Amino acid sequence: MSTQYIPHTEDDIRQMLETVGLSSLEQLFESIPEAVRLKRPLDVPSPLAETALLREMKRLADTNATAESHVSFLGGGAYNHFIPSVVDHLISRSEFYTAYTPYQPEISQGTLQAIFEFQTMICQLTGMDVANASMYDGASACAEAVLMAVRATRRRRVLVSQALHPDYRETIRTYCRYLNVELVDVPFDATGGTSLEHLRPLLGKDVAAVIAGYPNFFGVIEDLAVLGEEAHAAGARLIAAIQEPLSLGLLKSPGELGADIVIGEGQSFGIPLSFGGPYLGFFACRQQDVRSMPGRLVGETVDLEGRRGYVLTLSTREQHIRREKATSNICSNQGLCALMATVYLALLGKSGVREVAVQNFSKARYAREKIAALPGVSLPFSGQVFNEFVVSVPGKAHSVLEKLEQQGILGGVALAPFYDGMTDRFLVCVTEQNTRDEIDAFVNALAGGL
Amino acid sequence: MESLGTNGLVLNEKLLFEHSDPGRKGYSLPPLDVEEAVLPEALMREEIAGLPELSEVDVVRHFTRLSTWNYGVDSGFYPLGSCTMKYNPKVNEVAARLPGFAAVHPHTPENLCQGALELMYHLQAALGEVSGFPAMSLQPSAGAQGEFTGMLVIRAYHDSLGAKRTKVLIPDTAHGTNPASAALCGYDVVPIPSGPDGVLTAEAVAQHMNEDVAALMVTNPNTLGLFESQIADICRVVHDKGGLVYCDGANLNALLGIARPGDMGIDVMHFNLHKTFATPHGGGGPGSGPVGVCEKLAPFLPGPVVKKEKGAYRLETPSGTIGRVKAFFGHFGVMVKAYAYIRTMGPEGLKRAAQMAVLNANYIRARLEGTYHLPYKGRSLHEVVFSDRDLGGDCHTLDLAKRLIDYGYHPPTIYFPLVVKGAIMIEPTETECVEVLDEFCEAMKAIAREAEDDPDRLHQAPTRTRVRRLDETAAARKPRLKWEG
């Protein structure tokens, strides 16, 4: 029974068994004791041919609301951005996507050079000295940043802004669960940014790091420079978490503002929404911390004949060599997602990243002003935002979002599941994908639902 | 024999940054249709120094050229042991790109993403059936994160009983991620030697097993490609002292439809969807590392998991959850491909995959035993591990690997597992036909002859590649980790 993915004919099998010196396929599994064998067929659905498979997959896909079937103002850590056709075209080169980790550099130079370019562009965007080859996502990169700060400072207290993405905060808690790291929440203030008033008394000689979003979960642009000064005065690291990296096209780089570790989510750089993953964690830091970084690094070198080439390097930090003493247990990176981001950034380049950022910022400003003018609506936070902002509709957030849904509009992310006392609020995101007409229709529908 | 590897025209290509020409761009955006807003100057950056400026053609040529310097499963045989480099079906790529999957936002209300949740629900069930575990989390991003998740679940379980256990037993054949994951959960790692035949004995486990031990981490089949035949007794020994057994599911491909870890007494296992379920490795990721657990551990899984109630699918966070290990629900795009694979294969197809994977490994073993030293003689399952002991001419495993590249093959995994000196770990997978295996074995034999007759060919290899051996020492001594003009 040869199939499209399994080439063996009955003749092949007979001949191969003969070479092996066995008379049946069952004998191949003799080392598995009878008692632990499965004695019935697996209870999974019968096989589907390609046409039937695609029909079933389309059935499942067609029931989901998408940024194509609906007008979407959803953000909150995943963003609906324009992806040039070139991105998918290039990452579909199977020399890229059917390869694995570049363990053999002589036949992996494509992957290695692309990662080197990725590392470079992350440094350019964040203003940092070094970036790794990528991590699973923004949330896990954030947790790894906390662990690195703890290693580097030998301190065990970490101050976490409550305005940091809730999934990132939960992931940090999970990673630190059994590592004797004390996580202290720092409240936000009326600007929607981290409260300095609450931060200052918490800072002491036992603090390894302060973490804040830039922009944070409420879309607010934190005052990183001040957070950095406060953290550094106590000898702590400042970790900036970037959940919307296109903001870096417009905002001062975290490196320039004094961040010591910059991590983030790279999904905005050409990676499809895909219901939450796979995405792209990026991780950048100062030169001083390079040897305590987690994850893979690609470095430049030369071959026997002096030609430039790239290799995985500084791997004595990693689990396959250091085992339980490694800087992280991470083994893979997000290779193909990092490639998507590299292609995206190459296409947009210096002017494009700025232009997309300006469009996001301008459209969000336009929507925010129109929404703020509606009676019965308020904007609870006063801080400057990039492309998303919090809206408050007392007593009605749930019903307003439902009414919008009925008109084909995904109006925002309700904040009630993430914060106590935020039943009135939702988070609205506007990107370059939203036209002025869509925004106007959204504002009208919102007004009608109040 | 004519070598598969040959010379061809390979184009050089500079770094993106070296191509850059001010004023070029590779995208188009509709003009801004609202008034341009101005950010306060104090917040605004200067231009992003260094980002390249290229046309679309520049970018397409750049990455197309780079791709030709790579070797993938679609290029040829890729017997990278323990990584299960099977063929990645193309229809699965099409499925994952359907807009109804690729363009769904993770904050979409549950009533508007029922299809995505249904797919996850069915995948949870199918993985549970294949492995024998009643509860499943699809969240972990890759195998290593799955291990970490599984070990956190184990620790949370012991904590819930008020038990203070501090140690984790790990056999010397384990992947490096095992001890690293255990350490992240605050455990001390106790290595245990495998027996002289490469298999872990219940006796060795019993010697180390006591009330301080939280868990044993095993890989089954292990990294020597051998089934841990005492697994049921080993589980009993661990359970008798209140411990739990974790299984690294990296090698599950050998067991599909043949045996289920959950039936062996194992309590927790992670899957690698990118290995067993044919999703692409992507040049290093994304993987996907779901975790299956026995009933009593289900409350501790990361949330959310997908449940079905009154015909509707919904997300639910388990009551005693360890918390999430990443944002959102896991690598959904990878899940789509794995689910499509399972639906294509069906029950018989999955079993056939295991059978042919094991047949292929045994065929390579039979053809190469006698030429290469086989340190462990037990029945091989999905992979076979040789050593360089009998290689002549002062040639070592690395030289063999590099010479295989000249012959047109991706080398096997080398120098792992650590219990074999100069290990050559070959995993052919089921998607290779006998002719490919024959050609590969001929190349392996030819290289063994070259090592005797002309060892320099091995020491100099590879010679047909775009670059030759690279100076890794220099790279590490003075790291250049980005372009600096």
Determine contact: A438 vs chain B, CB below 8 A: no
Phi and psi at A74, nearest 5°, equal -90, 135
Contact A190/B at CB under 8 A: no
Q: Which residues pair with A281 in a beta bridge?
A: A135, A265
Contact yes or no for B334/B288 (Cβ under 8 A): yes
Q: Going by CATH, does the domain composed of A86-343 fall within 3.40.640.10?
A: yes
The boundaries of every CATH 3.40.640.10 domain in chain A are 86-343
B402 interaction partners in chain A (CB closer than 8 Å):
104, 106
Structure tokens at A247: 């903001």
Model confidence over B260-291: pLDDT tens digits? Answer: 999 999 999 999 999 999 999 999 999 999 99
CB of B54 within 8 Å of any CB in chain A?
A: yes
User: A106 and chain B: CB distance < 8 Å anywhere?
Assistant: yes
Tens digits of residue pLDDT in A340-378: 999 999 999 999 999 999 999 999 999 999 999 999 999
Q: Other C-beta atoms within 10 Å of A122: how many?
A: 30
Handedness of CA B483, A328, B124, A29 (dihedral sign): positive
Q: CA A340 from chain center: how many Å?
A: 13
pLDDT (tens digit per residue) in B166-205:
999 999 989 889 999 999 999 999 999 988 999 999 999 9
Residues of chain A with CATH 3.90.1150.10: 71-83+349-449
Q: Sort out which chain A residues have CB atoms less than 8 A from B349's CB and list them.
A: 3, 6, 47
B94-106 pLDDT, tens digit per residue, is 999 999 999 999 9
Residues of B in contact with A273 (CB under 8 A): 102-106
pLDDT digits (tens, 9 = 90+) for B35-71: 999 999 999 999 999 999 999 999 999 999 999 999 9
Q: Is the pLDDT of residue A323 over 90?
A: no
At A297 the pLDDT is 96
> Which among A6, A136, A435 is the nearest to B142, CB-wise?
A136
Contact at CB, B34 and A439, closer than 8 angstroms: yes
Q: Is the pLDDT of residue A1 over 90?
A: no
Beta carbons of A77 and B330 less than 8 Å apart? no
Measure the CA–CA gap between A430 and B357, rounded to whole angstroms: 50
Interface contact flag, A171 B324, Cβ < 8 Å: yes
Cα-based distances in Å from B388 to B81, B257, B391, B395, B444: 16, 34, 5, 8, 12
Of B40, B78, B479, the CB nearest to A384: B40
What stretches of B271-423 show up as alpha helix (H) in DSSP? 273-276, 332-368, 397-406
| Angular region, B283: left φ>0, alpha ψ -120 to 50, beta rest | left
For chain B, the average pLDDT equals 97
* Phi-psi region at A368: left, alpha or beta (left = phi > 0; alpha = psi -120 to 50): alpha
CA A182 to chain centre: 25
Compute the average pLDDT of residues B417-446: 97
Q: Does domain B92-344 have CATH number 3.40.50.300?
A: no
CA distance B108 to chain A (A): 7
- The C-alpha angle with vertex B12 and arms to B7 and B18, in degrees rounded to 5, equals 170
Q: To which residue do tokens 């409420």 refer?
A: A218
Model pLDDT for residues B356-375, shown as the tens digit of each residue: 999 999 999 999 999 999 99
Residue of A73, A337, A321 whose CA lies nearest to B331: A337
Would you state the CATH architecture of domain A71-83+349-449? Alpha-Beta Complex (3.90)
- Tell me which residue in B101, B285, B325 faces A274 most closely, judged by beta carbons: B101
The Cα–Cα gap between B159 and B299 comes to 13
Q: Is B50 on the interface with A (CB under 8 A)?
A: yes
Rounded CA-CA distance B69/B421 in Å is 31
CA A393/CA B341 separation, integer angstroms: 46
CA nearest to A333, candidates A103, A171, A79: A103
Fold (CATH) for B350-460: Aspartate Aminotransferase, domain 1 (3.90.1150)
Name residue B235's amino acid.
C
* Residues 56 through 85 of chain A touching chain B, CB cutoff 8 Å: 56-68, 70, 72, 74-78, 80, 82, 84
Residue boundaries of the structural domains of chain B:
1-69, 92-344, 350-460
DSSP B359-395: HHHHHHHHHHBTTBB-S--SPP-S-EEEESTT--TT-
B25 touches chain A (CB under 8 A): yes
Residue-level length of chain A: 450
pLDDT at A449 (0 to 100)? 85
Residue A20: other Cβ atoms inside 10 A: 20
Q: What is the ipTM of this complex?
A: 0.98
With contacts defined as CB-CB under 8 Å, which chain B residues touch A327?
A: none
A-chain CB neighbours of B287 within 8 Å are: 332
Residues B453 and A292: beta-carbon distance below 8 Å? no
> Is the Cβ pair A130, B481 closer than 8 Å?
yes
Mean pLDDT of chain A: 97
Q: Does the pLDDT of residue B1 top 80, yes or no?
A: no
Digit-coded pLDDT (tens) for A146-181: 999 999 999 999 999 999 999 999 999 999 999 999
Identify which of A58, A351, A410 has the shortest CB distance to residue B53: A351
Q: What is the pLDDT of residues A260-316, one digit of tens each?
A: 999 999 999 999 999 999 999 999 999 999 999 999 999 999 999 999 999 999 988
